[in-house]
Amino acid sequence: MEMSRTTAAPVKRRRLLQDNPSVLWFMGLLGLFTLGITVLSEGFGIGVISTNLVKILGMTLCLCLIAIAMDVVWGYCGILSLGHFAFFGLGGYAIGMWLMYARTEIVIRDSLAGGTIPPTEREVSEAVASQIFSVVGSNELPLIWTFAGSLPLQLAMVVLVPGLLALIFGWLAFRSRVTGVYLSILTQAMTLALSLYLFQNDTGLRGNNGLSGLQNIPGFLHVPQSVISVWFFWASAFALGAGYLLFAWVVSGKFGSVIRAIRDNEARVRFLGYNVEGYKLFVFTLTAVVSAIAGALYYPQAGIINPAEIAPIASIYLAVWVAIGGRGRLYGAVIGAALVSLLSSWLTGGGAPNIDLGFYRIVWTDWWLVMLGLGFVLVTLFFPKGIGGLFDYLVRKQ
Amino acid sequence: MTTLLEVSGVSVTFDGFRAINNLSIAIGEPELRAVIGPNGAGKTTFMDIVTGKTRPDEGRVIWGAQSVDLLKLSESDIAKIGIGRKFQKPTVFEEQSVRDNLAMALKNRRGPLSVLMWHATERDTARILELATEIGLSDRLTHRAGDLSHGQKQWLEIGMLLAQDPRLLLVDEPAAGMTPSEREHTTDLLKRAARTRAVMVIEHDMEFIRRLDCRVTVLHEGSVLAEGSLDHVTKNQQVIDVYLGR
């Protein structure tokens, strides 16, 4: 792509699409895929694929979105964060609070509407609280649910809460120049601590029960899931496309040059006058916010979120997806996330037939993790550039 | 010529080893200065202190007419104030093109948001081409820096140093691994730079230093042993004993 620039001609503007043909390819394929799924769906098309599959595919797009965020922070900037699923989960919780509150409120108002005196706001709020929190033995609305009745405020929380956590955590870690494996361990500790905290019943997010019924969208309770699933699929595809464009722009210009330089030799970048810690904090926080948006789109499709979702292992899987797909290239992260997560749900969801060898029966739910681990080791040893590296090979062959 | 950098009474100890011992040294603007000394004399540690990589145990490092205390600044702030450094082992960003390496070093705003919005102006593009011509890499702009020869990497790093447009250049062994004609070219480049700036060159090669034709500071065991013209210091008996006599 650099070759197309002639030495003498001044480069007036950054030409994102011309310089990065892969972005155009990706957008085209994503558009075609979205159109294809829409046509085949039950809600809008001929009904060849089930609503459940549409949801799985929509969720996969969200996982692809967090994977490209992971690729930017790890593959481009060299920060092996093993905690980005914490931000994903927080985004899910933030939107989940509104979904659960607003839906419960509608149900409560309907049931109280029959009475002679219209219920006061306080009565409604108390009824909602006891409905939501009776499962953890409480009937009071915790402080953090203050804004749960407002969609705009709760949407702001999707961005602000994980963004602020990333900002504070990153500031503390990068300022002390924690790098490499030590930083990875710190991020693991962060997501583990958050997960353990949320498992407690008195944290205001229903402990291990988590938030549920998130697939029912307040205001659209009469709309069948077959239609809502396609709406969310569209939203996820749009978010992935927008995120891809954003990150492609971020990593293409001089900013991308600086963060790759930080990845390769951060001390040298300091002597060029760049504030390395500031750049790391910027990238860490930006990718955390995108991860949170991915989570906010994922959990309404999953229907439920609980603290197990942000267990340390989730963030490690994320790193595995990106490594298998190929670090340092956005489409690699998409390929890795889509391939591994779809294979995983096919093999562990009972979709794949078990194989009877006579002397031994291969049960995929048992063997999937072994295969994933083996695949990870093989890719790391023999294809350090991941599946995405194959494209280099093909392009060079032409 | 006014004093640009003044290092006074600086000492630093690593695990009981006194790498720099009450070192005082000053350089003016413009000036070309060569620093020589046997291995372990503290030449590189001295540069580490000035550029903020190593904090000394005691002493002062004062910069410019405003007497800025460099010991209070971070590495990146010291670079921004106008001190550029070329490392002993050429350290360029090998995965990136020659153009990207130079563009990164170019004197422009360094904040994340300004860099995110940055696009090469005609002046930037012209400057990159000018620098590339000066370091003999104008036909290599789109090449990976990692594919360059050792000498070309040295030059690319010198080009990056010039691109920063610093007031003080700290140059650690610029001629290592260069052919005689490349060395000559490097000498010219440094002498030209020293017309308007302060340039401090660490070098082992006496021939190279002779061609620089400048004031020489001899370091030994972390402090200044002698200072003056090359002829003056090479006649100094102490210098002969610790360095040249071997």
Residue A194 makes CB contacts below 8 A (sequence gap 6+) with: A86, A89, A90, A310
Residues A265, B111: C-beta atoms closer than 8 Å: no
pLDDT in tens, chain B (246 residues): 789 999 999 999 988 888 999 999 999 999 999 999 888 888 889 999 999 999 999 999 999 889 999 999 999 999 999 999 998 888 999 999 999 999 999 998 999 999 999 888 899 999 999 999 988 899 999 999 999 988 889 889 999 999 999 999 999 988 888 888 888 888 998 999 999 999 999 988 888 899 999 999 999 989 999 999 999 998 888 888 887 655
CA distance B102 to chain A (A): 11
Regions of chain A where pLDDT drops below 50: 1-12
Find the CB nearest A274 among B53, B110, B122. Answer: B110
Residue A177 touches partner B, C-beta closer than 8 Å: no
Residues A257, B96: C-beta atoms closer than 8 Å: yes
Find the CB nearest B76 among A2, A261, A274. Answer: A274
Residue B120 touches partner A, C-beta closer than 8 Å: yes
Residue B114 touches partner A, C-beta closer than 8 Å: no
B203: domain CATH number is 3.40.50.300
Residue A115, pLDDT score: 75
Find the CB nearest A273 among B80, B96, B112. Answer: B80
Residues B116, A257: C-beta atoms closer than 8 Å: no
Helical axes A84-112 vs A51-70, angle rounded to 10°: 140
Residues B120, A11: C-beta atoms closer than 8 Å: yes
Which tokens go with B237? 């008996």
The Cα B174–Cα B87 span in angstroms is: 8
Residues B164, A272: C-beta atoms closer than 8 Å: yes
Phi/psi at B77 (nearest 5 deg)? -70, -35
Residues A270, B80: C-beta atoms closer than 8 Å: no
3-state secondary structure B164-205: CCCCEEEEECCCCCCCHHHHHHHHHHHHHHCCCCEEEEECCC
Q: Which residues of B185-200 are buried (b: 16+ CB within 10 A; e: fewer)?
A: bbbebbeebbeebbbb
Residues B160, A278: C-beta atoms closer than 8 Å: no
Residue B96 touches partner A, C-beta closer than 8 Å: yes
Residue A11, pLDDT score: 45
Minimal Cα distance from B82: which residue of A?
Answer: A273
Concatenating the DSSP letter of every residue in chain B gives: -EEEEEEEEEEEEETTEEEEEEEEEEEEESEEEEEE--TTSSHHHHHHHHTTSS--SEEEEEETTTTEEGGGS-HHHHHHHTEEEE-SS----TTSBHHHHHHHHSSS--SHHHHHH----HHHHHHHHHHHHHTT-GGGTTSBGGGS-HHHHHHHHHHHHHHT--SEEEEE-TTTT--HHHHHHHHHHHHHHTTTSEEEEE---HHHHHHH-SEEEEEETTEEEEEE-HHHHHH-HHHIIIIIT-
The Cα A66–Cα A145 span in angstroms is: 26
Q: How many structural domains compose chain B?
A: 1
Q: How many structural domains compose chain A?
A: 1
Residues A11, B141: C-beta atoms closer than 8 Å: no
Residues A13, B160: C-beta atoms closer than 8 Å: no
| Structural domain includes residue B161 | no
CA distance A341 to chain B (A): 31
Residue B32 makes CB contacts below 8 A (sequence gap 6+) with: B190, B191, B194, B199, B201, B212, B214, B215
Residues of B in contact with A272 (CB under 8 A): 76, 79, 104-105, 160, 164
Residue A4, pLDDT score: 42
Residue A12, pLDDT score: 45
Find the CB nearest B85 among A7, A13, A271. Answer: A271
Residues A275, B111: C-beta atoms closer than 8 Å: yes
- Other beta carbons within 10 angstroms of residue A44's beta carbon come to 18
Residues of A in contact with B94 (CB under 8 A): 264
Residue B245, pLDDT score: 57
Which tokens go with B36? 């020589």
Residues of B in contact with A16 (CB under 8 A): none
Residues 276-305 of A with CB under 8 A from B: 276, 278-279, 282
Q: Tell me which DSSP letter residue A204 carries.
A: S
Residue B118 touches partner A, C-beta closer than 8 Å: yes
Residues A258, B104: C-beta atoms closer than 8 Å: yes
3-state secondary structure A1-59: CHHHCCCCCCCCCCCHHHHCHHHHHHHHHHHHHHHHHHHHCCCCCCCCCCHHHHHHHHH
CA distance B53 to chain A (A): 9
Residues A255, B104: C-beta atoms closer than 8 Å: no
Residues of B in contact with A274 (CB under 8 A): 76, 110
Find the CB nearest A13 among B100, B119, B122. Answer: B119
| Structural domain includes residue B39 | yes
| Structural domain includes residue B35 | yes
Residues B120, A279: C-beta atoms closer than 8 Å: no
Find the CB nearest A275 among B76, B87, B141. Answer: B76
Residue A10 touches partner B, C-beta closer than 8 Å: yes
Q: What is the ipTM of this complex?
A: 0.91
| Structural domain includes residue B32 | yes
For tokens 């007036």, the residue is: A12
Residue A175 touches partner B, C-beta closer than 8 Å: no
Q: What range does the domain containing A110 cover?
A: 2-6+14-397
Q: What range does the domain containing B16 cover?
A: 2-96+166-244
Interface test with A, best of B49, B75, B114 (most A CBs within 10 A): B75
3-class DSSP state for residue A212? strand
The Cα B206–Cα A328 span in angstroms is: 45
CA distance B147 to chain A (A): 15
Residues of B in contact with A255 (CB under 8 A): 112, 115-116, 118
| Structural domain includes residue B138 | no
Identify which of B197, B201, B235, B236 has the alpha carbon closest to the alpha carbon of residue B215.
B201
Minimal Cα distance from A5: which residue of B?
Answer: B142
CA distance A274 to chain B (A): 5
